[in-house]
Structure 1
Amino acid sequence: MATSTETRFSLDGFGRASLAATFIAVQVLAFAATYAIGRPTWYAFFMIGSTAVTAYVFDGDRFTVGVATMGSVLMVALGLPLFLFVARQQPSIIVKKALNPDVHRMLYLGIYGPLLAAVVSLLFGVPLAHLFAEGFAGQQLVESLVDLPLVVPHSVAGIIILFGFGAGGAFPNVSVLGSMIGMVLAMTFVSAPYAVNATREAFESINDRLEYASRIHGASRWDTFRRVTAPLAVRGIVTGGVLAWARAVSEFGAVAVVAYSVSFFYPPAGGEVTAQHAPVFVYGTYLQGGLAESGAVAFILLSVSALIFLLIRYLTSGSSTTGGIV
């Protein structure tokens, strides 16, 4: 019988990376086969069953098999629609949309705008996250305020931004409606909680004795933060920025209310152009061109976003031990 510290099949000679690659290859082949015969439902059962068999072969513990099987059900719910989405794309339409200047402007705005929102979220969120990690009176109230955008409907978030910063709001001389500033404010509103919470977890995971040792050796609080705390938490900070950026990329409701169309400086054009944020653009394409054209635009956006996300994850997945969660 296998125990919690043993496995039924040693991975020493095979390697976990090779196992993962083999499992993925089998899944791809199984999906391709079931899709080719018009039975994608069969793949759902295959994925669940193959996960259970794999867990049994390499572990044998009934608990591991159970949790792996239950987890695979969720993976089917998440992965199968994505697989079908990719498989049903028409290459000719993708190429046509990839050469469309409107799509180029959409991609630029869809990356640049969320990047600004992520930078703003980190610039002001990292100090707040550090305060949360240290604790202060009334912290629960402030935490609730930070997390509020997570439960506010996104169209409501856009209306809140207009009330707060639009005409008659806090900064009456700042143009918010239909502007880049308004779009970044809307994105920051919905994405800041991800930056703050991920960064706080990174700070909280740091051993207090390291900061204490820095202080008793004469370092100021700022020097301790700059030389000890922040470097140990840098991967968690980057994770918070990535999550904030990803959340801003996907935002639709708040941006559609505040800045449905945005004028911004576009370097290839050498001046200002007007475009829409990516989710808004995809929705407009769906209304005008149907599912095939909107799917092609969504495929391009998804591909670019995935490449950027994977690149950032790769660059922040070094072997150094930090307080991050990457």
Structure 2
Amino acid sequence: MATETESQFEITAVGRLPLVVLFTLIQLLVFAAAYSIGKPTWYVYFIVGSAATTAYALDGTPFTIATATAGSLLMVVLSLPLFIFLARQTPSLIIEKALDPDVQRVLYLGVYAPLLAALLSLLGGVPLAHLLAKGFPGQPLVESLVDLPLVVPHSVAGIIILFGFGKGGAFPQLSVLGTMVGMVLALAFVSAPYAVNATREAFESIDDRLEYASRIHGANQWETFRRVTGPLAVRGMITGGLLAWARAVSEFGAVAVVAYSVSFFYPFAGTEVTAQHAPVFVYNTYLQGGLEESGAVAFLLLAVSAVIFLIVRYLIDDGTGGGMP
């Protein structure tokens, strides 16, 4: 206990942010040094060793050191490929791709279509999440249907969309194959579980006594939801929408089956254009132009997605330092 108290005192005295910044800078510098001499493997050893050393310095207990060391192994899998990917990019090629009108349309579509899918997921997902949080007969069946897209292979998801909404499906007049509608439906199919589950957790975290107090003061169910339940769960709704959007941005299989190329109105040109979803375009660029060209396009997509993700996180931060759940 003394060690933990002393460590907490030391962290408070120095400040968490400076420690995080210092740790990050050291990681970047060591990676740059290891990469520059052609020994990225050395950085792997450094990640594991620095995690164990930091855990020892901040806590000192064998359990914390062991968990930090084990956790650093996953960080190797997550961070090392990303660092090497960034280090191997050619700035001139990135600029060339950024100025390419075809790439610009792809990036726009790669943000716009997932946004529509996320909004569609929230439109039906918020009411469904509220019902799931309250409970009803047959709920396990509905929960299974909601979570099913998480385990369905992505190409199979595309086939399911074509059977359900394509020719001979539920809406024969609806054009799905190769259209923006089909792309949004495919993206919503694979991303909706994230919107529903995150929103449901937000509803479940609300104290029932707050809703009860609203009802006994004369508010009906609509007013209670609008003034109490909804505002308290809005953070979870935004989180769910953001997760659904992020999942839709990365979708490949379902889109490749349903809407390989789509036509849509491009506001920057003031006319209708044809483009592919960003992951599909990156894959085609890899087949035709190789790893370097596809890497430049992937870098641009990663940068745009990261900027939007960070902006949304910042906007929904309540100032308590918790960020998104």
The 3-state SS of whatever aligns with 2:272 is strand
- Is residue 68 from structure 1 mapped to residue 68 from structure 2 by the alignment? yes
CA distance in structure 2 between the aligned counterparts of 1:130 and 1:6, rounded to whole angstroms: 45
CA distance in structure 2 between the aligned counterparts of 1:217 and 1:2, rounded to whole angstroms: 50
**8 Å Cα contact 2:107/2:301 also seen in 1:** yes
Deviations 1:283-302 (A, max 9, x none): 01011100000000000000
**8 Å Cα contact 1:2/1:61 also seen in 2:** no
Residue of structure 1 equivalent to 2:178: 178
**8 Å Cα contact 2:130/2:200 also seen in 1:** yes
What are the within-5 Å matches in structure 2 for residues 103-182 of structure 1?
A: 103-182=103-182
Residue of structure 2 equivalent to 1:96: 96
CA distance in structure 2 between the aligned counterparts of 1:215 and 1:185, rounded to whole angstroms: 38
One-letter amino acid of the counterpart of residue 294, structure 1: S
CA distance in structure 1 between the aligned counterparts of 2:76 and 2:90, rounded to whole angstroms: 23
Residue of structure 1 equivalent to 2:290: 290
Deviations 1:10-68 (A, max 9, x none): 11221001100000000000000000110101101101110110111111122111111
Scaled by the length of structure 1, what TM-score is found? 0.97
Deviations 1:163-199 (A, max 9, x none): 0000010110110000000000000000000000000
Residue of structure 2 equivalent to 1:28: 28
What are the within-5 Å matches in structure 2 for residues 201-216 of structure 1?
A: 201-216=201-216
Residue of structure 1 equivalent to 2:248: 248
Q: 1:8 to 1:309 in 2, by over 3 A?
A: closer
Deviations 1:215-244 (A, max 9, x none): 111111111111111111111110000000
Residue of structure 2 equivalent to 1:46: 46
One-letter amino acid of the counterpart of residue 7, structure 2: T
What's the CA shift for 1:91?
A: 1.1
CA distance in structure 2 between the aligned counterparts of 1:8 and 1:60, rounded to whole angstroms: 12
One-letter amino acid of the counterpart of residue 107, structure 2: L
One-letter amino acid of the counterpart of residue 170, structure 1: A
What's the CA shift for 1:69?
A: 1.2
**8 Å Cα contact 2:316/2:324 also seen in 1:** no
**8 Å Cα contact 1:261/1:275 also seen in 2:** yes
Scaled by the length of structure 2, what TM-score is found? 0.97
What's the CA shift for 1:7?
A: 2.1
Deviations 1:91-120 (A, max 9, x none): 111111011000000011000000000000
What's the CA shift for 1:319?
A: 2.9
- Is residue 191 from structure 1 mapped to residue 191 from structure 2 by the alignment? yes
Deviations 1:255-283 (A, max 9, x none): 00000000000011211100000000000
One-letter amino acid of the counterpart of residue 245, structure 2: W
Residue of structure 1 equivalent to 2:299: 299
Give the stretch that moved more between structures: 210-219 or 247-256: 210-219
CA distance in structure 2 between the aligned counterparts of 1:41 and 1:321, rounded to whole angstroms: 35
CA distance in structure 2 between the aligned counterparts of 1:289 and 1:273, rounded to whole angstroms: 23
CA distance in structure 1 between the aligned counterparts of 2:149 and 2:187, rounded to whole angstroms: 11
Residue of structure 2 equivalent to 1:12: 12
**8 Å Cα contact 2:121/2:244 also seen in 1:** yes
Q: 1:2 to 1:70 in 2, by over 3 A?
A: farther
Give the stretch that moved more between structures: 12-21 or 294-303: 12-21
The 3-state SS of whatever aligns with 2:274 is strand
The 3-state SS of whatever aligns with 2:263 is strand
Q: 1:53 to 1:79 in 2, by over 3 A?
A: same
**8 Å Cα contact 1:55/1:64 also seen in 2:** yes
**8 Å Cα contact 1:8/1:57 also seen in 2:** no
One-letter amino acid of the counterpart of residue 250, structure 1: S
**8 Å Cα contact 1:8/1:60 also seen in 2:** no
CA-based RMSD of the aligned residues comes to 1.5
Deviations 1:68-103 (A, max 9, x none): 111111011100000000001111111110110000
The 3-state SS of whatever aligns with 1:89 is coil
The 3-state SS of whatever aligns with 2:13 is coil
**8 Å Cα contact 2:129/2:200 also seen in 1:** yes
One-letter amino acid of the counterpart of residue 271, structure 1: T
CA distance in structure 2 between the aligned counterparts of 1:5 and 1:168, rounded to whole angstroms: 67
One-letter amino acid of the counterpart of residue 106, structure 2: M
Give the stretch that moved more between structures: 50-59 or 295-304: 50-59
Residue of structure 2 equivalent to 1:84: 84
The 3-state SS of whatever aligns with 2:290 is helix
CA distance in structure 1 between the aligned counterparts of 2:125 and 2:266, rounded to whole angstroms: 28
